[in-house]
């Protein structure tokens, strides 16, 4: 019937989709501003996760001080059937390194690092990485199929294609 068993999103396509979500900016307690930009995505097939490195800029409105650095994290993925999206889940910060700023005390630097890590994890959890195009979703549905499980492989993120009947049976047996 011409329906593939899976669809693979390659690293370049994933990088392009992720880049559309940035720069991203949030504030904490109307005092601290955090901006994430310039994502560099990498597949981590053995761990079945993706890894990303980002530029991080933070500023304290009260003191006028700002910091810049690099944030490295990895995360799993999940498929959200409600909006046919692939979302980042379980982000783990691997490292956060700020460029040294003259006059910044070690205590303030440590506090900025903790706030940056907490904000980044919260900001990135459940972030939409990709949406299955509606026309592709409709073609699958018309043929009696839907996107299923996700797996990170050396070639990219593989989305299995499952029969609609199997998902209805699985849902009814729960």
Structural domain spans, the chain: 13-132
- Give the chain's length: 174
pLDDT in tens, 12-52: 999 999 999 999 988 877 787 889 999 999 999 999 999 99
- Give residue 170's pLDDT: 47
Residues 134-145 have a mean pLDDT of 92
Cβ atoms 98, 12 nearer than 8 A: no
- Give residue 67's pLDDT: 82
- Return the H-helix or E-strand segment holding 24: strand 24-28
CA quadruple 29, 19, 87, 135: dihedral sign: positive
Residue 11 has pLDDT above 60, yes or no: yes
Burial zone of 146 (CB within 10 Å; 0-12 exposed, 13-18 middle, 19+ buried) = buried
* First-to-final CA distance of the chain: 30
pLDDT grade for 155, boundaries at 50, 70 and 90: very high
pLDDT in tens, 62-111: 888 788 899 999 999 999 999 999 999 999 999 988 886 766 677 877 77
Residue 168 has pLDDT above 60, yes or no: no
pLDDT grade for 174, boundaries at 50, 70 and 90: very low
Q: How far apart are CA 84 and CA 80, in angstroms?
A: 6
Q: How far apart are CA 40 and CA 44, in angstroms?
A: 13
Sheet holding 145-153: strands in order across?
6-9, 156-163, 145-153
- Give residue 60's pLDDT: 80
The structural architecture, per CATH, of the domain 13-132 is Super Roll (3.15)
Q: What is the DSSP secondary structure assignment for residue 20, as one 8-state letter?
A: T
Whether a cis peptide bond, with omega within 30° of 0, leads into 120 is no
- Give residue 171's pLDDT: 45
């Amino acid at each position: 019937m011409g329906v593939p068993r899976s669809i693979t999103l390659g690293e370049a396509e994933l990088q392009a989709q992720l880049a559309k979500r940035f720069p991203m900016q949030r504030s904490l307690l109307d005092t601290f501003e955090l901006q994430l930009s310039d994502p560099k995505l990498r597949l981590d097939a053995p761990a079945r996760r993706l890894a990303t490195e980002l530029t991080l800029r933070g500023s304290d409105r009260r003191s006028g001080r700002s910091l810049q650095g690099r944030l490295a994290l990895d995360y799993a993925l999940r498929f959200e059937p409600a909006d046919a999206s692939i979302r980042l889940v379980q982000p783990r910060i691997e490292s956060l390194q700020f460029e040294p700023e003259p006059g910044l005390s070690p205590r303030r630097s440590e506090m900025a690092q903790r706030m940056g890590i907490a904000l980044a994890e919260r900001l990135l959890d459940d972030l939409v990485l990709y949406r299955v195009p509606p026309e592709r979703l409709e073609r699958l549905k018309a043929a009696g199929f839907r996107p299923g499980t996700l797996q990170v492989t050396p070639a990219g993120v593989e989305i299995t294609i499952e029969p609609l009947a199997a998902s209805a049976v699985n849902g009814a047996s729960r």
